[in-house]
Amino acid sequence: MFKPEEMVKLEVITLKRFRDVILTFLHEKGVVHIEEIPIEYVQRETPNEFYRKATSYSITISRLVDTLKSYLPPKSGGLKEFIFPKEKKKRSYKYRGIEALIKDVENFLSEVEPKIREVESEVTKINNEISSINSSIEALEILSALNVEVEYLRAGSFLNIEVGTVERDKVERAIKEVEEVTSGKVYILRRDLGAVSLLIVVTLKEDAGKVTSVLAKYGFEKIEVPEGEGLPRDLIPKYMEKLKAKEEELEKVRERGKEIAERYYEDVVFYKELMDNERDKANYLQYLVRTEMTFGISGWVPKSKINEVVEGIKRITGGKVYLNVRPPTDEEIENVPVKLKNPEFISQFEMLTEMYGVPKYNEIDPTPIMAFTYSFFFGFMLTDFMYGLLLGIISALLVKGHSKLRDGTWRFAKIMLWASAFTMALGIAFGSYFGNALDMIGIHVPRLMDSMKQAMDVLMIALAIGLAHLFTGYLLGFIVRWKNGDKKGAVFEQLPWLLIIVGITLYALSSKLGVPEIAFKGVFGLGLVLFAIGEIMSNGAMALLLIISDFFGFVGNWLSYARLMALALATSGIALVVNIMVQMIWGVKIGPVPLGILIGIIVFVGGHIFSTAINALGAFVHALRLHYVEFFGTFFSGEGRRFEPFAAKREVSRLEIEVGGE
């Protein structure tokens, strides 16, 4: 806690024939952050034909998954599925090497892919035919405005016939220009259809090019005359019959697709996951070095996992391996990948820390502090027992439903459980139960403070909390800098603010504690002097301007904690408005029917659910802001290098590695 997971450097050199199995073993363990070995003029590993095939098959199978998924009925989903998702079943695969896996995949694809492609091809063909029939029906519906048989609308040996539409406000000019370019050797039939006009333009073949050019100039949209003979309105029923027949044919093919999907979908997803993981392994081959007979790999491993990794590699190689495990050197400290390490009960808050960044390897992990302060700030801003209870019930259900998946929803719900506990505790302190609902019905509620009536007192508490929070941050910054040898930075960049905050605190408490005026002025003044010296040392001629800017920046950060009071008042205010609305309509009656009670219950429930949601969102965002902007800015850079393990992603597959399978 407070420090990232301790890391060690692992260096491995062994025979090249063990490469595939060792890579797979490390991939499944998922605890090694592989690094490029910094050796010049050395051969790097490249994907062989089997890894290249794995990449190709990954793409191919992904397309098959998408195709089969389109034939499966949509999942029911719903609220129950979201809260209690079903855990996916995992199938085991005995890994005997990349070559054997590729052969298994090829055998599977040779059986399944032709069936899927056949259905896909038939569906595409029929859909194209349906689209063509629909286009013909649309054309016939337009042409029905003319009492002309369709066979007379097609070009002949000597005549060119153009059928289409032009915007009505352009049609006169289009007709006039067509007559000019054909010297009057043209027959035009026009029917106005709302905003457009239907035109049939009959000209000699020799004038076809000029006519087409003129019509295009006026936005002429050509209509392809459908096949058949007779009046357009008489052909429509025949095309509708064709359409129905094609739709029935399409449905039969889709049924075949559904049968194939139900039979093979899970298998295709299974092999896709196998290929995706091989594809991921192939991307890391560039980090390996090799000779004719050996290969080398290097990476960072959490110290708690190194024995498992070393024993596994020894077992795979039968001891034919060089292994070197060592702590990071002073030169490597800045670039050691960081994996946060916290007790289980607060580990979910690592998600909030990582959203900002991770500490450097020699810095402090703020997660343990954030677990308390974030939850406290959230509760202070939401500050209603019933809102906290509602949020807690929802969070508890999500934690229960996602406990096996341990996904992002599970982690977020656990954070909200903490936040809801603080919300309920502070709701009791402020005597807030759906705002002032209990007071309005005559139930006396004990409270330490009324946020609406004692707003200034709440503001003072918020600012005091802000000072304590900032003091903690500067103190952590002082400790980190001093420990890492930056004593100048500790004394002139962190210590001044600590003294200033202590001075402000002594001044605020002087009347109650009897602190001499010289004490808080001396501490505050010493802080200002050290602050000014630090600015001069760092910024030279710009120091005067930056002293003013940075000091008021600190004041702005401090005053930012007033949002704790502002959002607490907002929660109480919205709840009060809802309660007043309910009180106003509660007694409304229509005859003997107490309509106001029914509407009042709806407004009360709906209004407070809305209030819980909107105020919880505000508390979530602003509690984060107080940490990311004000608190982290005092000591935490978030510029550490995140630990990104070489790890398999398994949802439906489980690998059983056969040592010596090659």
Q: Which two tokens stand for residue 627?
A: 């940490």
pLDDT at 661: 42
Enumerate helices (H) and strands (E) in the chain, giving the number of each: 20, 14
In this predicted model, what pLDDT tens digit does every residue of 59-74 receive, in sequence order? 999 999 999 999 998 8
Q: What letters, b where the CB count within 10 A reaches 16 and e where it falls short, cover 591-610?
A: eeeeebeeebeebbeebbee
d(CA 321, CA 17): 12
pLDDT at 582: 94
Q: Are 301 and 138 in contact (CB under 8 A)?
A: no
Q: Which two tokens stand for residue 5?
A: 């997971």
Q: Are 45 and 285 in contact (CB under 8 A)?
A: yes
Q: Are 119 and 437 in contact (CB under 8 A)?
A: no
d(CA 81, CA 84): 5
Q: Bridge partners of 202?
A: 161, 187
Q: What letters, b where the CB count within 10 A reaches 16 and e where it falls short, cover 70-92?
A: ebeeeeeeeeeeeeeeeeeeeee
d(CA 373, CA 357): 18
**Amino acid symbol at 611:** S
Instruction: Order the strands of the 159-167 sheet from edge to edge.
Output: 186-193, 196-204, 159-167, 221-222
Nearest to 51, CA basis, from 219, 249, 285, 212:
285
* Residue ranges in the chain modelled with pLDDT below 50: 661-662
All domains in the chain, ordered by first residue: 136-237 (3.30.70.2750), 347-634 (no CATH)
The CA distances from residue 7 to 22, 204, 338, in Å, are 20, 86, 8
Q: Which residues contact 471 (CB under 8 A, 6 or more apart)?
A: 498, 501, 502
DSSP calls for 300-363: EEEGGGHHHHHHHHHHHHTT-EEEEEEPPPTTTGGG-EE-----TTTGGGHHHHHHH-B--TTS
Q: Which two tokens stand for residue 641?
A: 């290098």
Question: How much is the CA Rg of the chain, to the nearest whole Å?
Answer: 37
With 0-12 CB in 10 A as exposed, 13-18 as middle and 19+ as buried, what is 345?
exposed
Q: Which two tokens stand for residue 473?
A: 């941050």
In this predicted model, what pLDDT tens digit does every residue of 229-276 receive, in sequence order? 999 999 999 999 999 999 999 999 999 999 999 999 999 999 999 999
pLDDT at 209: 92
Angle between helices 49-69 and 232-283 (to 10 degrees): 140
The CA distances from residue 494 to 392, 499, 535, 561, 656, in Å, are 39, 9, 12, 20, 54
d(CA 218, CA 190): 15
pLDDT at 328: 94
pLDDT at 588: 87
pLDDT at 657: 87
pLDDT at 508: 86
